């Protein structure tokens, strides 16, 4: 089997998606990349025939279906699907409108569902492939002030773990990627959405939003190193179901697991009380 693969990456006009696409193309892989505007892909034109820019509305099943069909028509197969597109939503739950919440879930979670549903018929037929869903450390160990973003990323993490079990017998690997802070556009004003409505009692949460804004440009994670991590993942005989990216994500996850263990042990007796006794 060829060592270079056909990749389909969502939200690849900037940040992690763009870094990943560039690194893979430079290594000879074929990349189909989606964006809301293909004009953003002019910078990748020099990669020629190995690159397929796709203007896709990730909220439309039809738009995604057409883009995956075009990928197969151009490259003949599909090996790795990376659900990368997403954006942060800050605010206390009470402060967020129904529209702010549903838009975030549409992009961060339901787009993943749609892409996986449209890709699976091809991967199933091949009896091979790797689906990589980009969740977040927030989809495992939530921080303060991002409740709905965390909920959407937990949904991605939950779906991905379940898919890893369901699809293994069909020869399809599935990995949930949980990055810590990466130096992308993510913390910039045009990539993050904050609650329009503010409730004074939640003023303490603004501090955590400020922390995020101030981190812009100083995050530990290097997006240009993600491609090598993903290549190691897809070449592995036993790929991780959950891959934490960055030492910050790794340590935050470890700390949550330790706390969960302590809490479970101290509540074990109560947990056991609900069993039938005979």
Query: Which residues of the chain form contacts with ligand NAP (CB under 6 A)?
Result: 11-17, 35-36, 40, 58, 84-87, 107, 134, 136, 179, 181-182, 184-186, 191, 219
Does residue 48 come out as left (phi exceeding 0), alpha (psi in the -120 to 50 range) or beta? left
Q: Exactly one of 19, 135, 147, 157 is catalytic; which is it?
A: 135
SS3 167: helix
Other C-beta atoms within 10 Å of 235: how many?
11
Nearer to ligand NAP, 88 or 129 (CB): 88
**Closest approach of Cβ 218 to ligand NAP, in Å?**
11
Closest residue to ligand NAP, based on beta-carbon distance: 15
Query: What DSSP character marks residue 146?
Result: B
Q: In terms of Cα–Cα distance, which of 192, 235, 225, 220 is closest to 79? A: 235
Query: Is 46 part of the annotated catalytic residue set?
Result: no
Query: What DSSP character marks residue 109?
Result: I
Q: Exactly one of 136, 149, 157, 194 is catalytic; which is it?
A: 149
Nearer to ligand NAP, 110 or 126 (CB): 110
**Closest approach of Cβ 211 to ligand NAP, in Å?**
13
Return all residues near 55 (Cβ < 8 A) that are at least 6 apart: 34, 35, 36, 37, 38
**Closest approach of Cβ 212 to ligand NAP, in Å?**
9
Query: Is 13 part of the annotated catalytic residue set?
Result: yes
Query: Is 122 part of the annotated catalytic residue set?
Result: no
Nearer to ligand NAP, 45 or 203 (CB): 45
Q: Exactly one of 14, 35, 153, 194 is catalytic; which is it?
A: 153
Nearer to ligand NAP, 12 or 227 (CB): 12
Query: Is 202 part of the annotated catalytic residue set?
Result: no
Return all residues near 48 (Cβ < 8 A) that are at least 6 apart: none
Q: Exactly one of 5, 8, 13, 122 is catalytic; which is it?
A: 13
Q: Kindly provide the residue ranges of all beta strands, DSSP E only, lying in the chain, ordered along the sequence.
A: 6-9, 30-35, 51-55, 80-83, 88-90, 130-134, 173-179, 192-194, 242-245
Return the active site residues. Answer: 13, 135, 149, 153
């Amino acid at each position: 089997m060829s060592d270079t693969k056909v990749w389909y990456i969502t939200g690849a006009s900037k940040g992690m998606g763009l870094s990943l696409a560039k690194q893979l193309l430079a290594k000879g892989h074929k990349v189909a990349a989606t964006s809301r505007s293909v004009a953003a892909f002019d910078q990748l034109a020099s990669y020629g025939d190995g690159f397929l820019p796709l203007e896709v509305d990730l909220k439309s099943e039809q738009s995604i279906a057409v883009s995956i069909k075009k990928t197969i028509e151009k490259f003949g197969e599909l090996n790795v699907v990376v659900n990368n597109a997403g954006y942060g939503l800050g605010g206390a739950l009470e402060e967020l409108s129904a529209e702010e919440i549903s838009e975030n879930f549409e992009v961060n979670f339901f787009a993943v569902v749609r892409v996986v549903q449209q890709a699976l018929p091809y991967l199933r037929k091949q009896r091979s492939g790797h689906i990589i869903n980009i969740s977040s450390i927030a989809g495992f160990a939530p921080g303060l002030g991002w409740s709905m973003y965390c909920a959407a990323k937990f949904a991605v993490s939950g779906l991905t773990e379940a898919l890893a079990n369901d699809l293994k017998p069909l020869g399809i690997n599935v990995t949930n990627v949980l990055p810590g802070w990466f130096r992308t556009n993510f913390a910039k004003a045009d990539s993050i959405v904050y609650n329009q409505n503010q409730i004074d009692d939640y003023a303490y949460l603004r501090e955590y939003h400020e922390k995020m804004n101030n981190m812009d440009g100083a995050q530990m994670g290097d997006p240009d190193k993600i491609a090598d991590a993903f290549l190691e993942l897809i070449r592995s005989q036993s790929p991780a179901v959950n891959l934490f990216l960055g030492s910050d994500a790794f340590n935050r996850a470890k700390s949550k697991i330790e706390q969960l263990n302590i809490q479970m042990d101290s509540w074990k007796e109560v947990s056991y009380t609900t069993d039938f006794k005979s």
